[in-house]
Structure 1
């Protein structure tokens, strides 16, 4: 048996925060990210966060979470979006195996984003750039979202790029119970991966039990 890591030295840190690394990353199947004990952004928190960003004219970050939550894009895919894709209404990506992944941009988001880009006089190129005019990094997005969450009194544990992708999946299934279509939209190789979004939280389970069981 081979080991993937070895402890050289270290000590236990009191009150430290520990996270589990997504095992799919170890197999080369996912972007590096941590799993925060199943904590994802709720619809109410998403709406509140989105409204705060728009109110304070933080439109760059407003559109970051809008695109993540309305397209189901991974953060690594988000930073590949260009003005040309928004005009077209979708972004086509190909996996290493040559499989096509089409990320659709809903009409309402498309129109809102085009208006934003028009106000900025941006006609082409990547839309998510840093202050130096280069494409923003996935780490830069993750870090700033945490800071903005703290600013608005939101638990930063639930605010990270993948939580908005999860929000997309949960909201989609509430309106269109087609798990096979959702698997295609999210670029899952197996429908079994998509089934995690069918799971209910303890609060949701309690509500269903209270409503359904009357014997």
Structure 2
């Protein structure tokens, strides 16, 4: 569902100032640009619908969201409003998330064969920026937002530290074979510092830039676009890791999951693998 313009002109000057302070508060708390944009949109949307920030109005808003959106979107909006409540120092008004029923299979996971084919095509066509982006995502399990934080200096060290809420540190390790080939590429590019992934203008690549290019490559190389997206390579990493090492707690730490229950989905097979296995077993 596309976002529509909100009636900001109907908001009072006091409300607009409150939103401006909320934006500054989010910045001070280290929220990303996309998160700030999403949270401001949600707070503005709520304030355009309800006259006051009360628990009853929050519950009405939650019901309205459930009627209109999928559970994941509902929870994103609830998370934004709970953050707004924290900003307003109204923690007792927090709203519970809706329960998500986890599917017993993985969807949109790129196969090992398609991953190898994609790498081969990117290397053949000289698309080294995207070759290494795909390879690093599949070899480390980083999210796309984390991928774009990698600097040349991190690759030289062979590791990168990510800081999350509560001053928690998560360390990303670059496998030696990935590091060595990436450093050769950087040497040929005569680059010793700065963002690892740059666009053709020499500026850091954006998340949308990578997503859009992956769609282009999927069509160019006759791959299923539904499995050629940044998160698909994170899925591939997790599946391959759990096949080689059954330490799910370690995988949870590597992926940066807050709960090990989130990581358990990688114990499941993909829907395609389930169907293939089913066809092998059921012969009556």
Where on the TM-score scale, by shorter chain, does this alignment land: which range? Answer: 0.7 to 0.9
Residue-by-residue CA offset, 1:59-102 (whole Å, 9 max, x unaligned): 11100100110011100000110111011111101102111111
Q: Structure 2: which 5+ residue stretches go unaligned? A: 1-58, 81-105
Mapping 1:103-182, distance limit 5 Å: 103-182=172-251
Between Structure 1 and Structure 2, the one with more helix by share is 2
- Structure 1 pair 106–22 and aligned structure 2 pair: CA distance change class (3 A): farther
Residue-by-residue CA offset, 1:111-150 (whole Å, 9 max, x unaligned): 0100000000001111111222221111111011100110
Residue 189 of structure 1 corresponds to 258
* 2:151 paired with 1:86: no
Q: Structure 1: which 5+ residue stretches go unaligned? A: 8-18, 29-36
Deviation >6 Å, runs of 4+: 209-213
Q: Secondary structure at the match of 1:91?
A: strand
Residue 15 of structure 1 corresponds to none
* Whole-angstrom distance in 2 between the partners of 1:204 and 1:40: 10
Q: How many positions carry a matched residue from both structures?
A: 195
Measured on the aligned residues, the alpha-carbon RMSD in Å equals 2.6
Q: Answer 1 or 2: higher relative contact order, Cα 8 Å, separation at least 6.
A: 1
* Whole-angstrom distance in 1 between the partners of 2:73 and 2:118: 26
* Whole-angstrom distance in 2 between the partners of 1:105 and 1:113: 10
Instruction: Determine which structure has more spread, i.e. the larger CA radius of gyration.
Output: 2
Mapping 1:23-62, distance limit 5 Å: 25-26=76-77, 27=79, 38-62=107-131
- TM-score of the pair, normalised by structure 1: 0.82
- TM-score of the pair, normalised by structure 2: 0.63
Residue-by-residue CA offset, 1:141-181 (whole Å, 9 max, x unaligned): 10111001100001111111011111110011111111111
1:3 to partner: Cα distance:
2.4
Residue 146 of structure 2 corresponds to 77
* 2:199 paired with 1:199: no
